[in-house]
């Protein structure tokens, strides 16, 4: 990647990355073209290649940038500033749905990248995602209080089950092209409430 890209004004950088997110969000990696991205950004293809050596380099830059914005949004919603696992889930969901509203193309790109099967980028995306997910899960396990949870459960198995269920939910939405943040927020909040009822020890009023 050419450092001259970062010497551009923030407005010009955002125009190029915004165009790239739009094109990749609505096309498979293989069919998305640098020509289309350049045209969408209002620059020449030669200039785009001046900033990014090839499509793969641009794609991976967009992925890492999307991950940074996701982390920032999660921090803004103070997701890890609670010890309640289910409250962590709620805050994480709200942060990601807010990101979907503010940056719809970036959010669609991120989801599309996660399920991208092109061998040129799949391994790198999945490796990075796995590392980030493992680190995130370790932080959750370090911070979560277990006193209020049912003691007959394996906590790691519970978390794995919930994360798999949420992954399956998003895969269904991705395949159906129904990425409405309001609907996703409402439906997953209902699921979190269900899990919370299922896995926590009922409080018996005195």
Decide if pLDDT at 153 tops 90: no
Radius of gyration of the chain (CA): 20
Q: The domain spanning residue 77 has which CATH number?
A: 1.10.357
| Residue at 7 is within a domain | no
Give residue 134's pLDDT: 84
| Residue at 88 is within a domain | yes
Give helix 34-41 / helix 55-76 axis angle, nearest 10°: 60
Distance CA(74)–CA(69), nearest Å, equals: 9
Give residue 199's pLDDT: 92
Per residue in 183-192, pLDDT (tens digit) is: 999 999 999 9
Tally of domains within the chain: 1
Per residue in 107-146, pLDDT (tens digit) is: 999 999 998 989 989 998 989 888 888 888 888 888 888 8
Q: Domain range holding 99? A: 57-199
CA dihedral 162→163→166→171, nearest 10 degrees, is: -140
């Amino acid at each position: 990647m050419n450092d001259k890209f970062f010497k551009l004004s923030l407005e010009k950088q955002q125009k190029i990355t915004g165009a790239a997110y739009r094109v990749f969000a609505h096309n498979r990696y293989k069919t998305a073209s640098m020509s289309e991205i350049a045209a969408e950004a209002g620059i020449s293809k030669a200039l785009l290649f001046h900033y990014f050596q090839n499509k793969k380099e641009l794609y991976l830059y967009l992925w890492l940038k999307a991950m940074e914005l996701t982390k920032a949004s999660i921090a803004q919603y103070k997701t890890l500033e609670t010890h309640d696992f289910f409250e962590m889930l709620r805050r994480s969901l709200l942060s990601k749905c807010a990101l979907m509203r503010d940056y719809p193309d970036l959010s669609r790109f991120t989801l599309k990248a996660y399920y991208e099967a092109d061998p040129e980028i799949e391994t790198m995306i999945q490796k990075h995602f796995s590392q980030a997910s493992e680190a995130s899960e370790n932080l959750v396990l370090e911070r979560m209080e277990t006193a209020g949870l049912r003691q007959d459960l394996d906590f790691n198995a519970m978390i794995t089950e919930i994360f798999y269920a949420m992954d399956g939910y998003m895969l269904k939405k991705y395949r159906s092209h129904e990425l409405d943040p309001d609907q996703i927020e409402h439906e997953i909040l209902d699921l979190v409430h269900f899990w919370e009822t299922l896995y926590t020890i009922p409080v018996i009023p005195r």
